[in-house]
Structure 1
Amino acid sequence: MHDETSTYGYSENKDALLKRLSRIEGQVRGVARMVEEDKYCIDILTQMSAINAALHKVSLGLVNDHIGHCVVNAAQEAGKSGDMSPLTEKIDEATAAIGRLLR
């Protein structure tokens, strides 16, 4: 668990991130409505593809923010202290997150 008072890489773009997630939420509700209304399966699949693409875009942005903020900060601290373990931890976190995205 991470400190709740920390500033993360996405913090500067938090409003834009929340706006994107709200749009994705609306898309998901729209797909549910399409299913309720018995819409054509290919049209539903097309919308699902758009949702997946939007989620991937948000995910890649978060990975970029993690690397650009958290990993870079850990590298700077490692350079000052000589302790590479926090940097290794952040790199491992990024690698694991990317692995989860690829599944």
Structure 2
Amino acid sequence: MAVQARGKQDHAMRLRRIEGQVRGLQRMVEDDKYCIDILTQVSAATSALKSFSLSLLEDHLAHCVAEATLKGGPEADAKVKEASDAIARLVRS
């Protein structure tokens, strides 16, 4: 199942903000801004992406994984494994 319709707009808005942050980083580099100031903004963009990832994961668990576990069987096992793998990737990043 894809992103839920009610969360889709919120996710898109958050990604547009992150995109704006990244564009701001590009301008900072082009304008030869102080490295520490750029690194501060990189940290903010990284935090925003992590927050977005956690929100998306929460939606996935609440909808896709929960729905699959109600049905049971191999699909449920696959969804739980898929979510566990995604969590592991987020933890490593």
| TM-score bucket (shorter structure) | over 0.9
Matched, 1:98 2:87: yes
How many residue pairs are counted as aligned between the two chains?
Answer: 92
Deviations 1:20-55 (A, max 9, x none): 100100100000100011100010000000000000
Q: Which runs of 4+ in 1 moved over 4 A?
A: none
| TM-score after normalising by structure 2 | 0.92
Match of 1:20 among 6, 14, 31: 14
Larger radius of gyration: 1
Tell me, in whole angstroms, the C-alpha distance in 2 between the residues paired with 1:67 and 1:44: 35
Match of 1:47 among 41, 45, 63: 41
Tell me, in whole angstroms, the C-alpha distance in 2 between the residues paired with 1:91 and 1:11: 22
| TM-score after normalising by structure 1 | 0.84
Choose between structure 1 and 2: higher helix proportion: 2
- Sequence identity (%): 50
Matched, 1:31 2:25: yes
